[in-house]
Amino acid sequence: MIFLSSHWKMFGILQHLRLLLCLHYDALAVVCVGCIFLVGLLDYSHWVHGCDLFCWQQQLARVDDKPMALMLLIVGFKMLLILILTLLSYRRARPELEPTIGHVKQRYRRFIVMRLLAAHNQFLHGDEQIHQRHAELLQAIQLFRADARKLYERTSEQLSQSIQQMLPVEEQQEQELLQMGYDKYKCVTQLREVDIYRLVLALPMSKP
């Protein structure tokens, strides 16, 4: 029992150590690179100049101003550490930039118009009965008007939301509409926010 208890305790310590290494992998990389650089420097000095650790100790003993030499050594190590951290920072994945408000609105306008065009196309070429297709088209128009009002109307609840939450786009449905080519229509590519406003209110379209 004592052996099993010590075994599980050692296993827990190893798991905790593994978790720490996974969380602080960047610090581990810096330490490893520093050790590799130090070992490479010592190996080069021993291979080329025949200078081992005792030689380094003798050279350090000959230095008169040891505090100055120690300070220069610390400064050199810090410069090397800064260089390594700078190189590692370029290797890290950069976070994606937040889309602009104009881009979010443009994508939302394109989505709701493509969805309305798909419903109209289904009404013209669908296989269901005419009254069922007409009812589905009316539902699509009501959905378009309700979603389009979000572009220029704000409720008290929406004021605390981000622009992505206020103007959501169903990505799977958007990809399906794009694959069907609804983004190639002129009314989709050149539609402005004021045109959406006129469509909701059933006003005549303004000339560009």
Would you list the domain boundaries of the chain?
Answer: 9-91, 101-200
Query: Per-residue pLDDT tens for 41-68?
Result: 777 777 777 777 677 667 667 767 667 7
- Greatest C-alpha distance within the chain: 101
pLDDT for 22: 66
Q: Which two tokens stand for residue 187?
A: 């009314």
Confidence of residue 38 (pLDDT cuts 50, 70, 90): confident
pLDDT for 43: 76
CA distances from 21 to 2, 7, 16, 25, 203 (A): 29, 21, 9, 6, 64
